[in-house]
Amino acid sequence: MAENILKVENGTFSYEENRFAIHNVNMEINAGEKIAVIGNNGAGKSTFFLALNGVIKLDSGDIYFHNEKLEYRRNSLLELRKKVGIVFQNPDEQMIASTVEGEISFGLYNVGYQKETVRKKVDEIMERLELKEYSTRPPHYLSGGEKKRVSIADIMVMEPEIILFDEPTASLDCKNIQLFKKQVNELHEKGVTLLISTHDMNFVWEWADRVIVFSNGTIIADDKAENIFSKEDIVEQAALQKPILFDFGIKSISI
């Protein structure tokens, strides 16, 4: 039986009084899962990710990481963020350094790694994500796809247990989408637990072991993709578009 590594109990958060972004959310994430998080715009997906990473503090409810309740103190939050990484939809939101190399190394230095170790880890990750040629360039001047790779490298270099991807393929061209798919498959093979928020239902159908559906801040379904898309009430409530291959019952063998 897979180990439960992250859990939310009765999670609720509002940006405005009496307007819930997420409301009474309960779920468990097990080691090694590939989870797609779907729903229409404003359904609560991004807020849910921010809560899992400790970026926002729940108004009520609790988060547990390896059965330890999250305390919203600096050391507790740092420990969580080392193990639960988030890749934002807009890469510019998480970039702060003046070079690609500096950007990728920032988190490692921040948690106390020595220079030699940082150098080795950064070189390895830049090689894997085809970023070596950009090492001295300012990340804000890169293309959208290149920025996305840098933002993914920021998180991967920390070797987290869980990575949350918020709309990772938005605005990417076909080449970069294929590269992203290759990267997430490699991460999963290394044992990383993955949650991906997306509007790409074909990707959900092909990739996810488990699908969580949000609507109006609540989870309305949590099941396998074939069961989710078979329920017309769920499809309609969450304004989902069925995958192209759904009616044929075919899962792509290569993504």
- What tens digit of pLDDT does each residue of 9-24 get? 999 999 987 789 999 9
Q: Which residue has the higher pLDDT, 37 or 148?
A: 37
Q: pLDDT exceeding 70 applies to what percent of the chain?
A: 98
| Mean pLDDT value of segment 130-148 | 91
**Is residue 81 within 8 Å of 53, Cβ to Cβ?**
yes
Looking at every residue in the chain, the average pLDDT score rounds to 92
Residue 156, pLDDT above cutoff 50: yes
The pLDDT score that the predictor gives to residue 229 is 96
List the single range of 7-16, 138-147, 169-178 with lowest mean pLDDT: 169-178
- What tens digit of pLDDT does each residue of 185-197 get? 989 999 999 999 9
C-alpha closest to that of 148 among 124, 184, 110, 118: 184
Residue 253, pLDDT above cutoff 70: no
Q: Which residue has the higher pLDDT, 86 or 179?
A: 86
The pLDDT score that the predictor gives to residue 255 is 44
| pLDDT category of residue 1 using cuts at 50, 70 and 90 | low
- What tens digit of pLDDT does each residue of 188-241 get? 999 999 999 999 999 999 999 999 999 999 999 999 999 999 999 999 999 999
- What tens digit of pLDDT does each residue of 56-108 get? 999 999 999 999 999 999 889 988 998 999 999 888 888 889 999 999 999 89
| pLDDT category of residue 139 using cuts at 50, 70 and 90 | very high
| pLDDT category of residue 252 using cuts at 50, 70 and 90 | low
- What tens digit of pLDDT does each residue of 159-173 get? 999 999 999 888 778
Q: Which domains does the chain have, with CATH numbers?
A: 4-253 (3.40.50.300)
The pLDDT score that the predictor gives to residue 64 is 97
